[in-house]
């Protein structure tokens, strides 16, 4: 059985599970790092890339760059490895594991192609059947174990009790706390109680209701969780002030208006664009600071857009009371900082505004065909003839 799990993506400096980073930092004290200089042509190629993400993209079209870069940073890797392996955490020595080689990846791909000749598409029946009988995929875990079919897998050597799926978090009867692992071990669970699916909570300010003729229809959809929160109200004076999940600080609700929208960032989890706000217009230098930070960290809904150590972190920010279930904010569309054909429910492109609803409501957000087919209704605000 293989269980692969991950912590909250991006912003690892705030993740308690990764606070071993403070121990690793001890190994970098009084240490100066410099990569090995390459030939002028290679250095010229490196200077074309402003971040590691751009370097990787450049290497796809220019394969020779990958080898040149690996040779350039080899001394740095060796020095860091040597220092890290001299550290201990709870009397356990830190280990440095080599990355998977390209040859090992090719071998794995070859085995997969032999098992599934038409691999890399979920439409192949044999692939779908194998996934259903051997795997369990969740938002933060992916598990694989042998099936009970002797014609498919060899018999297991461990007891069945030791080969049970890792259960999902399950709320107790109070709905405020999660049940202990020992009480739900072996039970069939779902992701319905996943913490990141819980709607954000407004802690101050007047409550604003979502005006839609189909609010009840949205009740059973994933994106409906965000509707009662009302983080995207067009009128700033009615937008609730919220508590920051990471720093427990209260954000200024007057900041989240279309006039203060400066740019957008895409969540790596749900692919929805999120608005970056600032009361002052950003200079070229500040814009560059934000862009560089976004290239180094993977942004997820509700997380700070800049590291807390940044001088701009208190002035440039995204909403922190939103999650991946929250629809795209209204200021994103009214400020024209990105594509206007983005579906408010899922972030897909080529979405359209319902013309019939536009005649009834002042604000109608775009919706794509896929969301309509799933039974989701367009997000609307401020009906004509009614005072909100």
pLDDT category, 260, cuts 50, 70, 90?
Answer: very high
| Mean pLDDT value across residues 127-136 | 86
**Per-residue pLDDT tens over the stretch 172-217:** 888 888 899 888 888 889 888 887 666 555 555 444 444 434 333 3
**Per-residue pLDDT tens over the stretch 217-244:** 333 333 333 333 333 333 333 333 333 3
Give, in order, the Cα–Cα distances in Å from 34 to each of 79, 80, 296. Answer: 10, 11, 19
Q: Is the pTM of this model over 0.85?
A: no
For residue 61, what are its two tokens?
Answer: 């079209």
Query: Is residue 102 helix, strand or coil?
Result: helix
Dihedral in degrees, nearest 10, Cα atoms 217, 193, 10, 374: -30
pLDDT category, 89, cuts 50, 70, 90?
Answer: confident
d(CA 148, CA 166): 18
Residue among 369, 354, 370 nearest 214 (CA): 354
Query: Is residue 365 helix, strand or coil?
Result: coil
Backbone angles phi, psi at 53, to 5 degrees: -60, -45
Which DSSP letter does residue 65 get? H
d(CA 195, CA 217): 23
pLDDT of 96 higher than 80: yes
């Amino acid at each position: 059985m293989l269980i692969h799990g991950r912590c909250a993506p991006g912003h690892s400096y705030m993740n308690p599970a990764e606070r071993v980073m403070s121990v690793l930092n001890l190994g970098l004290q009084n240490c100066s790092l410099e990569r090995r200089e390459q030939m002028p042509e290679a250095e010229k190629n490196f200077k074309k890339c402003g971040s590691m993400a751009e370097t990787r993209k450049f290497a796809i079209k220019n394969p020779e760059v990958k080898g040149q870069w690996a040779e350039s940073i080899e001394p740095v890797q060796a020095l860091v490895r040597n220092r890290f392996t001299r550290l201990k955490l709870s009397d356990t020595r830190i280990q440095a594991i080599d990355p998977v080689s390209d040859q090992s990846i090719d071998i794995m791909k070859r085995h997969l192609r032999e098992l599934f000749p038409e691999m890399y598409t979920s439409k192949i029946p044999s692939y779908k059947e194998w996934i259903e009988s051997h795997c369990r995929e969740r938002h933060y875990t992916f598990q694989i174990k042998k099936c009970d079919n002797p014609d498919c897998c060899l018999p297991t050597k461990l007891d069945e009790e030791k080969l049970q799926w890792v259960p999902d978090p399950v709320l107790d009867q109070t709905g405020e706390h999660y049940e202990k692992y020992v009480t739900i071990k072996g039970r069939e669970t779902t992701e319905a109680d996943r913490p990141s699916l819980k709607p954000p909570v407004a802690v101050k300010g007047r409550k604003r209701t979502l005006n839609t003729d189909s609010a009840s229809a949205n009740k059973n959809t994933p994106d409906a969780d965000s509707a009662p929160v009302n983080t995207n109200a067009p009128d700033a004076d009615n937008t609730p002030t919220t508590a920051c999940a990471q720093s427990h600080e209260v954000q200024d609700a007057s900041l989240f208006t279309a006039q203060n929208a400066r740019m957008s960032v895409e969540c790596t989890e749900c692919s929805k664009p999120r608005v970056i706000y600032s009361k002052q217009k950003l200079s070229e230098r500040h814009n560059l600071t934000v862009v560089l930070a976004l290239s180094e960290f993977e942004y997820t809904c509700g997380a700070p857009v800049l590291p807390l150590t940044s001088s701009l972190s208190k002035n440039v920010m995204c909403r922190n009371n939103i999650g991946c279930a929250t629809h795209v904010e209204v200021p994103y569309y009214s400020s024209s900082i990105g594509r206007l054909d983005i579906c408010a429910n899922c972030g897909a492109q080529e979405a359209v505004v319902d013309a019939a609803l536009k005649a009834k409501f002042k604000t109608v957000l775009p919706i794509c065909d896929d969301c309509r087919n799933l039974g989701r209704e367009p997000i609307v605000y401020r009906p004509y003839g009614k005072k909100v």
